[in-house]
Amino acid sequence: MNSIVNIRESIYILVVLGILSGCASTEVDKAFRGDMESFKETTVIVGYCQSCHVHRKFNPSTHLIQKPPLYKEPPFTEASDCKTCHSIKRNIWNDIVQVTIFPNGSLVESE
């Protein structure tokens, strides 16, 4: 009987630890929340983006030069960091979902 109680307690502890670890903030969460110094924040966010095969050659310097002129209004025209246009959220499974923030119809017409 005592071993059954220990097994139940162990399972309960593992479940609680699993839930709590799923709620723990990662460096990426902290960076997008602004809980870091600006340089560290940018380094973490860019590293996260470059970890994806689609963005592995991503160059944040050229991105911040090329993209702001495409927009008509602040803060997009004055973007100086990733968080102006990008954020993350967590889904029900605690996976990171990337979000790009677009202004409402204020892209500059291409000529």
Comparing 22 with 95, which gets the higher pLDDT? 95
Q: Judging by beta carbons within 10 Å of its beta carbon (0-12, 13-18, 19+), is residue 45 exposed, middle or buried?
A: buried
Cα-based distances in Å from 104 to 56, 71, 81, 108? 29, 10, 20, 12
Q: Amino acid identity, residue 43?
A: T
Query: Residues 61-109: pLDDT tens digits?
Result: 899 999 998 888 888 899 989 999 999 999 888 888 988 888 775 555 5
Tell me the pTM. Answer: 0.69
Reported as a pLDDT band with limits 50, 70 and 90, residue 37 is very high
The DSSP element (H or E) to which 88 belongs, if any, is strand 86-90
- Is the predicted pLDDT of residue 111 greater than 50, yes or no? no
Q: Taking residues 4-32, report their average pLDDT.
A: 71
Identify the pLDDT of residue 29. 93
Query: Residues 38-65: pLDDT tens digits?
Result: 999 999 999 999 998 888 898 988 999 9
Dihedral angle computed from the Cα positions of residues 36, 67, 85 and 47, in that order, rounded to the nearest 10 degrees? -40
